[in-house]
Structure 1
Amino acid sequence: MSEVINNREYRQKVLKEIILELHGGKSVEEVKARFEELIRGVSAAEIAEMEQALIREGMEVREIQNLCDVHAAVFKGSIEEIHRENKPEETPGHPVHTFKLENRAIEKLIRETITPLLARLKAGGDGESTAALASALETLSAVDRHYARKENLLFPFMEKYGITAPPKVMWGVDDEIRAALKEALALAKAGPGAAQQAAAKAEEAVTKATEMIFKEENILFPMVLETLSEDEWLQIRDDSAELGFCLAEPGSQWKPARENVEGKLQSQGEAPSGGGYIRFEPGILSPEEIKWIFNTLPVDITFVDKDGAVKYFSQGKERVFARPASVIGRQVANCHPPASIHIVEKIVEDLKSGQKEHEDFWIKMGEQLVYIRYFAVRNDKGEFLGIMEVTQNIKPLQDITGEKRLMSE
């Protein structure tokens, strides 16, 4: 085992030296010769570790970013293919399958349309070629959606697992591609007078975009496929449509193996086991996170369902009204003194019928001024789901004067 570890450490050391030599001015061919002599195979994970180590040692992210195109050329053809028995990314609808589908469409646009147009413009093309280039670059600009999904859906999970260097470097290059495309498009729209400048900038953009495809498919995707869970891929799948797609769409919806198993169990009347994540429209939370978010809120919350049964109450540190566990399941009318039952029933009736959407009260309790609010809870169809009671001591809020712009010591 120690021999394997030491060999891996040595290879990591060599990889770092190669990048630093490139940074020091050595040519790609000089470094490539040494690379091919000493390195037989490099995994995506080792490249990530190398970049991470360089940042830890003090190298600026922008410096690695400047080297990104160079070391990608060195690594090209030398990255080991990572084999897995089960390859969900080959299933249509899986986020990685969609990313690759888009990459094929990007390559086709560059190969069949943009590259021939650049050749014609270099040979002294006319205004028609310049206009055609502008149209093609406009189409290619949809790559922004591809990068946005990568940056906003993949990178946060990578950072969660401590993989921070590759996302920073790759995002920087994405922005370079966006900027080059924007500049090339503006020049192409300026007309034949700027044709040569447009062609040069467009060539820079498509070269970087093509190299980015290589980096995604040989470094990024193998890395995230090794790291992310099915639940996380499911979240990425569900969130992708909001950010949009580039020149291609999933076509079908990928379902993880776990989801298929749970569906089968549910169809057989069995409930899936486990305390997995709960999905919301803007995010996903575990039961533990939900519990402590509610218990951390500076207000007390109680929920009564549409049938009048108390279903939930938060348990913050400074509760205004005590709530015993035995209250769960009780009819809300039974949780109040008989003298106030008619008020409770009237509140429920007004909120349920839609005559009111909320009702507010405030009472003094010793030094506290307690603000009690009742809200009708409805779904997006307007259907009544229940009533939420929110209680808060607002005396500290009333005492606020002036401004506070500095952090407390």
Structure 2
Amino acid sequence: MSKILDLDKPVYELAKEYPDFIDIFASLGFADIKNPVMLNSMGRIITVNKGSKMKKIPLEKIKEVFAEHDYEIKGDSEESKEEDTLKAAKKGSDLPKDDTNSTELIKQYLLRLSNGESLESVQKDFKERFESVDSSEIMKAEQELMESGMPYQEVQKLCDVHSALFHGSTKNETSEIEKTLDLASGSGADTKELVDTVGHPLNTFTKENKNLENYIDEFEKKLDNNTVDRELLKKIRELSIHYAKKGDLLYPLLKTKYNVTGPATVMWSVDDEIRDELARLFAIDKEDEKWVEDIKAVLTRAKEMIYKEENILFPICAANFTGEDWINIYLDSKDYENCLGVVPESFELAENLNREFDDIDGEIVLPGGHFTKEQLIAMLNTMPFEITFVDENDINRFFNENDAPKAFKRPLMAIDRDVYSCHPPKIEPMVREIIGSFKSGTQDEVSVWLNKNGKDMLIKYMAVRDKNGKYMGTMEIVQDMDFARKHFEEEA
């Protein structure tokens, strides 16, 4: 059986079909193909044509090398295909009826919208060809448009129009996603199953979306009756927390770990626009005709974003993220306020695990990250205050050493001495009382304000405890607050 190098076929499929494909392709400058994560993620999107263009490796050279390995070459160059697509788009015509490349068809529809053709006209042609469309095909089409040179701002501008074009036609809406592949680990991961898993991040995101949609529907009904419910609008604005979680936890992971850049580039920008527009309108007291028009428009965009999340973003995340990714997302999401009337439930799989970094040679590994010794010293010395740490036995253990003049001198000779020996007799009783209250648990912090050499200073003593509340020592922070006083005097 002859081997066929289809230039338009995803390299993932070629690698599965021909055992020698990976080594040949890697030898041409595509070393990433040997990385299983890259093969299973970007390999499903990138064709030989696109790889040639992205890596700037001549297509003729690729053809020549594969021909030497007894491959028959099939397919047109990417450039000629895109020219044909653009020509068809400008004419407003469709590709031939027997064309099976749905991604190219979708690109054509998007290009027609970009060229100013009406949504109704394009949507009519789209519905004649597609009963349903997979969310990954929409993502690939938008990503390929950006790769071919269309500015991401243009794709972003059309993001809501794209959503309207496909609304009601994604496979998520017509049937459940069956066995969505977890591209990072190779195991099956059904989006619906993740959404239905109690406490899973997608479970929480989906509940937030459901409440948000209900809030918007209720607000719009009242608006139709000439009533503006400011309290309800305030609830709707909590979508900013929902968007912040996406922006911090989902988009960067897709972009940096799995090289899925479309949602991160386009949807993230749309999130910001929706959030900012809601803030602008909320700050306006006069609810005139223009205000009503603008609020309706932004709420429509917010509803379209719900659609895009549930039918494009979430399935893409489910198809890429590993179980470990979801656990990290769940744990990190605890840092965010609850929003949209949803109190996240416990995700048992994550709650039963301790998240720690592996030991790294030459670095100090902490629960929140890792540093070289030099980095840690530099960071502590950059902090704009004087830090002292006294251990549970009242022994001085650490002073930072920033370059600013110190309000209270701390000679290194004082390290490993008891803290009381560093204070004059009239201050020592106060220090003993503060530390004693920390040890007994009656206090956790004490603030002392004073004026020293004409400057307002804040001295803050804080009990240092482990996660079980056990006393481990006292931290003292001294900060020159004169800058704050001057700031507020200037503001007054």
Regarding TM over 0.5, the answer is yes
Q: How many angstroms apart in 1 are the aligned matches of 2:165 and 2:202?
A: 24
Whether 1:45 aligns to 2:136 is yes
Shift of 1:77: 1.6
Q: Could you tell me which of 144, 150, 162 is aligned with 1:59?
A: 150
Aligned to 1:155: 251
Shift of 1:205: 1.7
Aligned to 1:357: 397
- Distance change >3 Å, CA 375–CA 49, structure 1 → 2: farther
Q: Could you tell me which of 93, 97, 104 is aligned with 1:13?
A: 104
Shift of 1:37: 3.0
- Contact 2:392/2:471, CA 8 A, preserved across alignment: no
Aligned to 1:137: 233
- Contact 1:102/1:248, CA 8 A, preserved across alignment: yes
Q: Percent same amino acid at aligned positions? A: 30
Aligned letter for 2:398? H
Aligned letter for 1:170? M
Written as runs of structure 1 = structure 2, the 5 A alignment for 1:313-352 is: none
Q: How many angstroms apart in 2 are the aligned matches of 1:252 and 1:94?
A: 8
- Distance change >3 Å, CA 382–CA 38, structure 1 → 2: same
Q: How many angstroms apart in 2 are the aligned matches of 1:298 and 1:195?
A: 60
Shift of 1:39: 3.5
Written as runs of structure 1 = structure 2, the 5 A alignment for 1:327-406 is: 353-358=393-398, 379=466, 381=469, 383-384=471-472
Aligned to 1:165: 262
Aligned letter for 2:164? A
Q: Secondary structure at 1:279's aligned position in 2?
A: coil
Shift of 1:88: 2.6
Shift of 1:372: 12
Whether 1:279 aligns to 2:355 is yes
- Contact 2:143/2:262, CA 8 A, preserved across alignment: yes
- Distance change >3 Å, CA 373–CA 201, structure 1 → 2: farther
Aligned to 2:280: 183
Aligned to 1:108: 214
Aligned letter for 1:97? N
Written as runs of structure 1 = structure 2, the 5 A alignment for 1:237-248 is: 237-248=330-341
Q: Could you tell me which of 271, 274, 284 is aligned with 1:174?
A: 271
Q: How many angstroms apart in 1 are the aligned matches of 2:170 and 2:164?
A: 11
Larger RCO (alpha carbons 8 Å, 6+ apart): 1
- Contact 1:351/1:358, CA 8 A, preserved across alignment: no
Aligned to 2:48: none
Aligned letter for 1:45? S
Q: Could you tell me which of 167, 172, 178 is aligned with 1:83?
A: 178
- Distance change >3 Å, CA 373–CA 15, structure 1 → 2: farther
Aligned letter for 1:181? L
Aligned letter for 1:68? C
**Corresponding residue pairs, total:** 290
Shift of 1:241: 2.6
Q: How many angstroms apart in 2 are the aligned matches of 1:372 and 1:9?
A: 78
Shift of 1:293: 4.1
Q: How many angstroms apart in 2 are the aligned matches of 1:56 and 1:139?
A: 38
Q: How many angstroms apart in 2 are the aligned matches of 1:8 and 1:166?
A: 27
- Contact 1:15/1:50, CA 8 A, preserved across alignment: yes
Shift of 1:155: 1.1
Q: Secondary structure at 1:252's aligned position in 2?
A: coil
- Contact 1:151/1:171, CA 8 A, preserved across alignment: yes
Partner deviation per Cα, 1:27-74 (whole Å, 9 max, x = no partner): 112212222233443222222222221111111111001111111111
Aligned letter for 2:178? H
Q: When the two structures are superposed, what TM-score results if normalisation uses the length of structure 1?
A: 0.62
Aligned to 2:52: none
Aligned to 2:223: 118
Partner deviation per Cα, 1:210-269 (whole Å, 9 max, x = no partner): 11110000000111011111111111111213122322324521223xx69xx6xxxxxx
Q: How many angstroms apart in 1 are the aligned matches of 2:252 and 2:416?
A: 35
Q: How many angstroms apart in 2 are the aligned matches of 1:236 and 1:351?
A: 34
Q: How many angstroms apart in 2 are the aligned matches of 1:183 and 1:356?
A: 52
Aligned letter for 2:225? R
Q: Secondary structure at 2:355's aligned position in 1?
A: strand
- Distance change >3 Å, CA 374–CA 98, structure 1 → 2: farther
- Distance change >3 Å, CA 359–CA 101, structure 1 → 2: closer
